[in-house]
């Protein structure tokens, strides 16, 4: 079947930047905010009844939704072409309006602060407000970090340049042009295309792909700009800790927004770090299978074993995803089909298009998925991954807007679960040789999404801790620190052909720029998904229970929600049992070697 492969944004949003409706919607943002403020500014902090707070929630969520629509459109447009200056300009204008809007809405946080903890908790326990319970609990937790109105105003205005640092990162990295010598011919490629050669069967091409990225990212200009952007972001994070009186450890802000206890996150990190030798064990077998013992390089980590180099067309890949969903659950299948038929998946890489892949969703709206499909088995997994997110966004529509989004640590559940379902299907379709190849790729992915993410976070924690205690770090310091963490992960199995001072790997990870410490959510999500997946397979968790977990969106703390299904995320055994699943796969891989 031939599927549409581009977003139809004009159907869902506006016909273009010239559409009078977008101009009107943007012009309407501040009046919306003013109306809301007129209605609530002088009375919100005096609210005592559930009826009052329900009105407030209702008006607040409708306003928030309507004012965000133009920015969703512009964000999607800029994803399709990061170099479109007209879009960038509009985004800048709208950012200015949002800053103004959030200044006018500061009374809300101040109002919560005046209402204070006891009243908020009373509401949280009121059955009439049960649909908002978790938002009330989060609010009661967060009010102690809110400063006075005038102070918040200053911070708001001063935060605009930080937004610039983030978009500067996207614009810069989106503008890089990569070249690779392939068959004695110099080719111009996007970063995504270059990366896909990291899984190429020919070692020289892998090496060339690695150096193609390094030529750009290791250039002094790139290093200076990305290094300074990164440390600015870290410094801003550090100032927040000081100004808002957060406990003095660098990850607390993230843990609060993640609704994760500090001790749980520390346990996740240390349990995975303890298991690093498992990764090294896998790499050693792999080096042996590839006849690369003692010369196994960074660019060999993602190498295929050499037997299968299967290519998929997008249509084949999507059919495979659909057949997996069909076997699993009717709703998963239906929504996957709708997503593609209703033109909400943008499939192929293009010059200027944002790299990687993402799914985007929000209350009252359909999900959107962006891919950079290059035809590899990995890209097929990415389809299932992102569609998992899209379906999660759809199932969470059950929740009210303030508790619609799940914490990031739960946000990767549906995506990884769908990837695992796809994995089972692949296993049943292929020959033993292909299965060995598949297992190699699958393990590569698992180690990336659990172990490497933990390594990223450990690196970030070091950088943030040093900067927070007053050290100044140059890009060379960052490079050396990065190498240290890589060494710990690889344990001497991998050799490098560039020195530690040129080790710019950190600068290629968008997450550490955009969402500090986000990456632990991937590690947590993966281990959690192993647990849920096993439970569904062995029948101790029904598909309906699993869907209920997804439907719960952000309406419950992860720890409470999961404990209702017999999972205790505060116990080391939880992490160890997830890691044992990985070990089983490594043992299987060893046997096949
Ligand atoms: Zn994801």
pLDDT at residue number 535: 87
d(CA 372, CA 348): 5
- Quote the ligand 1 centre to 261 CA distance (angstroms): 22
**In this structure, are residues 148 and 245 in contact, taking their beta carbons and an 8 Å threshold?**
no
d(CA 205, CA 180): 9
**At the top level of CATH, which class does the domain 9-158 belong to?**
mainly alpha
- Quote the ligand 1 centre to 15 CA distance (angstroms): 29
CB atoms within 10 A of CB 498: 15
Helix (H, G, I), strand (E, B) or coil at 495: strand
- Quote the ligand 1 centre to 315 CA distance (angstroms): 22
Where helices occur in 290-329 by DSSP H, the ranges are 314-328
- Quote the ligand 1 centre to 357 CA distance (angstroms): 8
- Quote the ligand 1 centre to 211 CA distance (angstroms): 27
Residues 6 or more apart whose CB falls under 8 angstroms from that of 396 comprise 361, 404, 405, 406, 550, 551, 552, 553, 554
- Quote the ligand 1 centre to 449 CA distance (angstroms): 10
- Quote the ligand 1 centre to 149 CA distance (angstroms): 36
Q: Are strands 185-189 and 178-182 parallel, antiparallel or unpaired?
A: antiparallel
**In this structure, are residues 562 and 413 in contact, taking their beta carbons and an 8 Å threshold?**
no
Q: By CB neighbour count within 10 A (0-12 exposed, 13-18 middle, 19+ buried), where does 49 fall? A: exposed
Q: Please give the model's pTM, rounded to 2 decimal places.
A: 0.82
pLDDT in tens, 98-157: 999 999 999 999 999 999 999 999 999 999 999 999 999 999 988 889 888 888 888 888
- Quote the ligand 1 centre to 364 CA distance (angstroms): 21
Helix (H, G, I), strand (E, B) or coil at 359: strand
**In this structure, are residues 381 and 362 in contact, taking their beta carbons and an 8 Å threshold?**
no
- Quote the ligand 1 centre to 42 CA distance (angstroms): 42
d(CA 121, CA 118): 5
| Most confident option among 194-198, 307-311, 545-549 | 545-549
Of 165-179, 205-219, 460-474, 550-564, least confident by mean pLDDT is 165-179
pLDDT in tens, 160-170: 777 777 778 88
| End-to-end Cα, the chain, rounded Å | 38
What residues does each domain of the chain span? Answer: 9-158
- Quote the ligand 1 centre to 385 CA distance (angstroms): 6
- Quote the ligand 1 centre to 586 CA distance (angstroms): 24
- The tokens for 8 are 């139809």
pLDDT at residue number 308: 64
Report helix, strand and coil shares of the chain as percent, to nearest 5: 70, 5, 25
pLDDT in tens, 371-419: 999 988 788 989 999 999 999 999 999 999 999 999 878 888 999 899 9
- The tokens for 481 are 């620190």
d(CA 252, CA 255): 5
d(CA 577, CA 52): 47
pLDDT at residue number 309: 58
- Quote the ligand 1 centre to 416 CA distance (angstroms): 7
**Percentage with pLDDT > 70 across the chain:** 99
Indicate whether 459 pLDDT > 80.
yes
**Band of residue 307 on the pLDDT scale cut at 50, 70, 90:** low
For the sheet with 368-370, list strands across it: 345-346, 368-370, 358-360
**In this structure, are residues 384 and 416 in contact, taking their beta carbons and an 8 Å threshold?**
no
Of 177 and 369, more confident: 369
- Quote the ligand 1 centre to 516 CA distance (angstroms): 16
Indicate whether 240 pLDDT > 70.
yes
- Quote the ligand 1 centre to 389 CA distance (angstroms): 7
Indicate whether 430 pLDDT > 90.
no
Give Dmax (Cα) for the chain. Answer: 75
d(CA 466, CA 481): 11
Helix (H, G, I), strand (E, B) or coil at 357: coil
């Amino acid at each position: 079947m031939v599927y549409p492969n581009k977003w139809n944004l004009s159907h869902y949003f506006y016909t273009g930047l010239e559409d009078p409706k977008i101009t009107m919607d943007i012009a309407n943002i501040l009046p919306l905010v003013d109306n809301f403020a007129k209605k609530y500014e002088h009375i919100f902090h005096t609210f005592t009844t559930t009826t009052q707070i329900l009105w407030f929630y209702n008006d607040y969520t409708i306003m928030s939704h309507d004012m965000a629509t133009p920015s969703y459109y512009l964000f999607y447009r800029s994803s399709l072409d990061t170099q479109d200056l007209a879009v960038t300009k509009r985004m800048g204008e709208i950012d200015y309006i949002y800053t103004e809007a959030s200044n006018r809405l500061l009374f809300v946080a101040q109002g919560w602060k005046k209402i204070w903890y006891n009243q908020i908790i009373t509401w949280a326990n009121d059955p009439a407000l049960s649909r908002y319970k978790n938002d009330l609990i989060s609010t009661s937790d967060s009010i102690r970090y809110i400063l006075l109105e005038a102070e918040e105003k200053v911070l708001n205005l001063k935060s605009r340049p930080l937004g610039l640092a983030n978009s500067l990162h996207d614009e810069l990295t989106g503008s890089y042009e990569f070249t690779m010598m392939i068959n004695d011919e110099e080719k111009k490629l996007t970063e995504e295309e270059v990366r896909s050669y990291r899984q190429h069967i020919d070692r020289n091409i892998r090496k060339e792909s690695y150096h193609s990225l390094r030529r750009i990212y290791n250039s002094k200009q790139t290093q200076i700009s990305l290094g300074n952007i990164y440390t600015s972001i870290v410094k801003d994070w550090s100032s927040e800790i000081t100004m808002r009186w957060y406990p003095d450890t660098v990850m607390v802000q993230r843990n609060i927004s993640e609704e994760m206890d500090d001790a749980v996150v520390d346990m996740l990190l240390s349990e995975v770090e303890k298991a690093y030798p498992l990764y090294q064990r896998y790499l050693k077998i792999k080096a042996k299978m590839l006849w690369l013992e003692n010369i196994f390089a960074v660019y060999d980590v993602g190498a295929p074993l050499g037997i299968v180099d299967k290519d998929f067309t997008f249509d084949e890949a999507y059919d495979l995803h659909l057949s997996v969903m069909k076997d699993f659950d009717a709703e998963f299948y239906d929504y996957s089909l709708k997503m593609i038929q209703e033109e909400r998946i943008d499939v192929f890489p293009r010059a200027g298009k944002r790299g990687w892949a993402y799914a985007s969703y929000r209350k009252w709206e359909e999900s959107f998925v962006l891919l950079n499909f290059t035809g590899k088995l990995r890209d097929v997994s990415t389809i299932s991954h992102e569609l998992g997110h899209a379906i999660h966004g759809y199932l969470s529509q059950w929740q009210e807007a303030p508790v619609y989004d799940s914490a990031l640590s739960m946000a990767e559940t549906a995506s990884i679960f769908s990837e695992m379902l796809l994995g089972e299907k692949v296993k049943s379709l292929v020959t033993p040789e292909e299965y060995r190849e598949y297992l190699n790729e699958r393990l590569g992915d698992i180690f990336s999404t659990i172990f490497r993410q933990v390594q990223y976070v450990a690196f970030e924690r070091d950088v943030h801790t040093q900067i927070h205690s007053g050290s100044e770090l140059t890009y060379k310091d960052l490079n050396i620190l990065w190498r240290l963490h890589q060494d710990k992960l690889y344990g001497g199995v991998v050799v490098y052909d560039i020195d530690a001072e040129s080790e710019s790997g950190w600068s290629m990870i968008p997450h550490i720029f955009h969402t500090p410490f986000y990456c632990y959510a991937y590690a947590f999500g993966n281990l959690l998904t192993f647990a849920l997946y096993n439970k569904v397979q062995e029948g101790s968790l029904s598909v309906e229970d699993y869907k209920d977990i997804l439907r719960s969106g952000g309406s419950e703390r992860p720890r409470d929600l999961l404990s209702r299904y017999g999972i205790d995320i505060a116990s080391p055994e939880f992490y160890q049992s997830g890691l044992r699943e990985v070990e089983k796969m490594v043992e299987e891989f060893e046997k096949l070697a």
